[in-house]
Chains A and B, each alone.
Chain A
Amino acid sequence: MARVVVDVMPKPEILDPQGKAITGSLARMGFDGLSVRQGKRFEVDVAGGITDERLAQIKEAAEKLLANTVIESFSVHIEED
Chain B
Amino acid sequence: MEEDDFNPEVVKRFMFVNRKAPYGTVYALESLETVLISAAFDQDVSVVFADDGVFQLKKGQDTPGINMKNFSPTFRALDGYDVEKLYVEKESLEARGLTEDDLLVDVEVLSSKELSKIMAAQDVVISN
A-B complex is real: no
Residues of B within 8 A of A (CB): none
Residues of A within 8 A of B (CB): none
